[in-house]
Chains A and B, each alone.
Chain A
Amino acid sequence: MKKIKNILLVVTVVSFTLLSFKAPTNSLIFVEAGNLTVVVNANGAPSDINLKKLKGVLKGEQQRWKNGTKIKLALMKTNTNIGSDMTNRIFGMTVKELNKHYLAKVFQGKMSSPDFFTSETELIKYVSEKSGAIGIVSTSKAKGVSTLSVDGKKSL
């Protein structure tokens, strides 16, 4: 019985991974520095946040918004320019450090698994649909979705 459970678990893990994997639709997006915007789902997220708190949210140190809505992280993969830029500028980490950070947090159950995207459009769509979601996209793409001011600025 336990063996069957293990097999089902492995199948589940592999299925989740495959379903989560999305082929990059636009791998040539180039975003210049200073053009990152924090996008949020209107439900639960504040309209303004300071950088320190933003970092805390993005690192999984804060799990819920003030109204109790669970925070869902939606980030661009670090192999995208936006993702790489975000890692350096916002987290102040290397890609390896960020991944290991999330691994440690998820492993210990201190945070939910963040969702990584290869397409900003999909990320924005996800954020706009997912209650409590927060993500970072290039400013130019942040349209039709709520944005979060960081220290009073619309873009980072």
Chain B
Amino acid sequence: MKIVTVRNKIIAVAIGIVLIFSPFLFIYFPSQQQELLIDSYNQEVEGIARTVALGVNIALAEQNFTGVETAMQYAKSDSRLSFIALVQIDTVPSDRKNKARLDKTVFSIFPENAVVDLNMESSEKVAVSGSAINSEMLSGEVMVGFSTQTIYDKIAEIKFRSFILSLIVSLFGVIIGVILARNISNPIRILRKAHYKVGQGDLHQEINFKRSDEIGDLAISFNKMVGQLDETEQELLLQKGIVEEKNKGIIDSINYARRIQDAILPSKEKVGSCFAECFVLYKPKDIVSGDFYWVQILEDRTLFGVADCTGHGVPGAFVSLVSSNALNNSVNEFGLVDPAGVLTKTNELVQGKFSHDETDEGMRDGMDVALCSLLVDSTEIEYAGAINPLWIASKHIPLDNESELSPMLGSESGNLFEVKGDKQPIGRYENSHPFTNHKVKLNKGDSIYMFSDGFADQFGGMKGKKLKTKKFKEAILSIWEQPLSEQGEYLDKMITDWMGEHEQLDDICVIGVRI
């Protein structure tokens, strides 16, 4: 459950405002009232003292005691009266020389038994005030004391009322805050829920509340937006249908192209019949492939190879058709049987096919290929390569044109040798020259491998890097003695595991043959 919500924020603001104003209602207002009450009360007491003093002065001056009587009756009628005293002040000689002091005595007091400290001042219990009497007969003051009990009772009552008021205001504030929060947050929650559903793909959302504020505008905008999204989705669905229809047509065409491409690829039975033992790992990136393997069975030998045409997918497939056709023509029409001759002729044919295309793409059209010729009942092979090499796994040292090959990788089970192809592809190439034919003497049980670059260039592993040739070599060397079918399965699993969630980068084709 989320704590930081619009509703909680508004409630917090409302409570904050209430908390700010509550002390004003509960503390400041009562204190102001208290001050006013006390001031007013002191003035009232002072007024009574002055009135009585006026009556006394008149009485002593005019011998008219009516004023005193009236003032006293008024004062006495007040239940708050504590005392009212006539204080006589006489100037008497002091003990000190040439000094005099004021001697205060109670001349008369009401109530008669009241005891008053003549120097007392106002306190929390009594409000005291005095007013001077200036007469020849009597000099002094009228001293009045009124109980403050009623005032403090009133103050307590004000405090209580303020407390109740502040409580009511606080409660009211919180209720207003909650109502306001609900008023604002509820439509926002409805909007959020509707947005969420729209996010989930449900475009049939409509906000029904009607408000004249910004949230109402937002709801109208939302409904408009959803309506437009719905229209857009319908349009997209329509377009998607069209695209899907077209895509289906394209896929159907490509699938048909795949069947055509499959037709140029030798069947498994044909390949299997050529060799004592072999495997073909053929993994096109798309439906059709730029890689292909090629086998041509002649009376005294079998020509076989792996080609990697420019590009992949449909363009690669088209190039592969041209290249495969060129290979076939080199053997069948021109009677060439040595791999170098076949590749040289194939190169001529392919260059001829693409000669009309002077674009950069046209310049690149062609293939890398490794081609071998295995004589019947012989352990000698001929090899020619356009870029792509031939790998040999053996416990012995093979001879390449009578020269011993150097192992590029070794283990207890044997060594891995490499016969490099010419550094020119099939296709247009500057300084194009005839391909080199390699006569390689092998031993019974040796394994030879040809492949496209798709296997070693595949991205994958923990870090998403290329597999690289080194790992490929190590894998070949570790399995070369195993049955070829198992080697094919092993390499298939290896490259699948390596790819993991990564996309296949290129077409993959690997052929292994046991001599």
- Given A9-B71, A20-B64, A108-B108, residue A99 in contact with residue B86 (CB < 8 A): no
* A33 interfacial contact with B, CB 8 Å: no
- Least Cβ–Cβ distance between A101 and chain B, in angstroms: 10
Whether B299 is near chain A, meaning CB under 8 Å from some CB there, is: no
Q: Tell which of A112-120, A121-129, A144-152 binds the partner.
A: A112-120
Residues of A within 8 A of B66 (CB): 13, 16-17, 20, 113
Q: Is A14 an interface residue (CB 8 A)?
A: yes
Are B69 and A112 in touch, CB under 8 angstroms? yes
Cβ of B64 and Cβ of A21 under 8 Å apart? yes
If over half of A's interface residues share one DSSP class (helix, strand or loop), that class is named, otherwise mixed; here it is helix
User: Of all chain B residues, which has the CB nearest A6?
Assistant: B47
Asked whether any CB of chain A lies closer than 8 Å to the CB of B74, the reply is yes
CB-contacts of B126-145 with A (<8 A): 136-138
Contact B107 A108 (CB under 8 A): no
Chain A residues contacting B63 (CB-CB under 8 Å) are 77-79, 99, 116
**Is B229 in contact with chain A by the CB < 8 A criterion?**
no
Given that A96-B137, A103-B138 are known contacts, is A113 also in contact with B107, CB under 8 Å in the complex?
no
Flag whether B67 is at the interface (Cβ < 8 A): yes
Q: Does A51 contact B (CB under 8 A)?
A: no
- Indicate whether A6 sits within 8 Å of B65 (C-beta atoms), given known contacts A104-B107, A108-B110: no
- Contact call A103/B86, Cβ cutoff below 8 A: yes
Kindly list chain A residues whose C-beta atoms are within 8 Å of the C-beta of B40.
2
A residues in contact with B43, CB < 8 Å: 2-3
| Proximity bits, B249-261, A CB within 8 Å = 1, else 0 | 0000000000000
Q: Beyond A6-B51, A13-B54, A99-B63, is A107–B44 a contact (Cβ under 8 Å)?
A: no
B55 near A13 (CB under 8 angstroms)?
A: yes
Nearest chain-A residue to B55 (Cβ)?
Answer: A13
* Minimum C-beta distance from A32 to chain B (A): 23
* Complexed CA–CA distance, A107 and B86 (Å): 8
Residue count of chain A within 8 Å CB distance of chain B: 29
Q: How far is the CB of B206 from chain A (nearest CB, A)?
A: 66
Task: Bits for B387-401, please: 1 = Cβ < 8 Å to A, else 0.
Answer: 000000000000000
A1-27 interface bits toward B, Cβ cutoff 8 Å, 1 = contact, 0 = none: 011001001101110110011000000
Closest B residue by C-beta to A102? B65
Number of interface residues of B (CB under 8 A): 36
In the docked arrangement, what's the CA distance between A14 and B86, Å? 20
Q: Does B165 sit at the interface, judged by CB under 8 A? A: no
> Does residue A68 face the partner (Cβ distance < 8 Å to B)?
no
Interchain CB contact under 8 A, B69 and A113: yes
A77 to B107, CA, bound (A): 23
Which chain B residues (44-80) contact chain A, with CB distance < 8 Å?
A: 44, 47-48, 50-51, 54-56, 58-60, 62-74, 76
Is the Cβ of B70 less than 8 Å from the Cβ of A12? yes
Which chain A positions have C-beta within 8 A of B67?
13-14, 16-17
| A100, CB-defined interface residue at 8 Å | yes
* Chain A residue at minimum C-beta to C-beta distance from B137: A96
The number of residue pairs between A and B whose CB atoms lie closer than 8 Å in the complex comes to: 102
| Chain A residues whose CB sits within 8 angstroms of the CB of B58 once the complex forms | 13-14, 17
Q: Chain A residues near B188 (CB, 8 Å)? A: none
Proximity string of chain A (78-122) to chain B, C-beta cutoff 8 Å, 1 when within and 0 when not: 110000000000000000100110111011110011101000000
Expressed in whole angstroms, the Cα–Cα distance for A20 and B63 within the complex equals 10
Contacts of B47 on A, CB cut-off 8 Å? 2-3, 6, 9-10
Tell me if B107 and A10 are in contact (CB < 8 A).
no
Residue B109 is within 8 A (CB to CB) of chain A in the complex? yes
Residue of A nearest to B48 (CB): A6
> Which A residues are CB-close (under 8 A) to B54?
10, 13-14
Q: Which residues of A contact B74 (CB under 8 A)?
A: 9
B51 adjacent to A103 (CB under 8 Å): no
- Measured between alpha carbons, how far is A43 from B192 in the docked complex, in Å? 101
Residue in B43, B59, B112, B136 with the greatest tally of chain A CB atoms within 10 Å = B59
In the complex, the answer to whether B65 meets A109 with C-beta atoms within 8 Å is no
Q: Are B107 and A106 in contact (CB under 8 A)?
A: no
> CB-defined interface of A123-156 with B at 8 Å, one 1/0 digit per residue?
0000000000000000000000000000000000
- The closest CB in chain A to the CB of B40 belongs to A2
Q: Which residues of A contact B109 (CB under 8 A)?
A: 108
Contact of A106 among B44, B51, B59, B136 (CB under 8 A): B59
Q: Could you tell me if A99 and B64 are in contact, using CB atoms closer than 8 angstroms? A: no
Other-chain residue from B44, B55, B62, B112 in contact with A108 (beta carbon distance below 8 A): B112
Nearest-neighbor residue (CB-CB) of B46 within chain A:
A6
Q: Give the docked Cα–Cα distance between A107 and B108 (Å).
A: 7
Q: Which of B40, B48, B69 gathers the greatest number of chain A CB atoms within 10 Å?
A: B69
Inter-chain contact A99/B51, CB cutoff 8 Å: no
- The CA-CA distance from A16 to B86 in the complex, in Å, is 21
Q: In whole angstroms, how far apart are the Cα atoms of A114 and B107 in the complex? A: 19
Min Cβ gap B275→A in Å is 127
Chain B residues in 8 Å Cβ range of A104: 86, 107-108
Q: Shortest beta-carbon distance, A11 to chain B, in Å?
A: 10
Q: Which residue of B lies closest to A7 (CB)?
A: B47
Query: A9-B71, A78-B63, A109-B110 in contact; A103/B76 too (CB < 8 A)?
Result: no
Interface residues of A (CB under 8 A from B): 2-3, 6, 9-10, 12-14, 16-17, 20-21, 77-79, 96, 99-100, 102-104, 106-109, 112-114, 116
Taking A2-B40, A6-B51, A103-B138 as given, write out 17 further A-B residue pairs in contact, using a Cβ cutoff of 8 Å, ordered by the A residue number.
A2-B44, A9-B47, A9-B71, A13-B54, A13-B70, A14-B67, A17-B67, A20-B64, A96-B137, A99-B60, A100-B138, A103-B59, A106-B72, A107-B68, A107-B86, A109-B76, A113-B65
Query: Nearest 9 A-B pairs (CB), nearest first?
Result: A6-B47, A113-B65, A13-B67, A104-B108, A2-B44, A113-B69, A16-B66, A107-B108, A106-B65
Could you show 25 A-B contacts with beta carbons less than 8 Å apart?
A3-B43, A6-B48, A9-B48, A9-B70, A10-B47, A12-B70, A13-B51, A14-B54, A17-B58, A17-B62, A17-B66, A100-B137, A102-B59, A103-B59, A103-B68, A103-B138, A104-B107, A104-B108, A106-B68, A106-B69, A108-B109, A109-B76, A112-B69, A113-B64, A113-B68
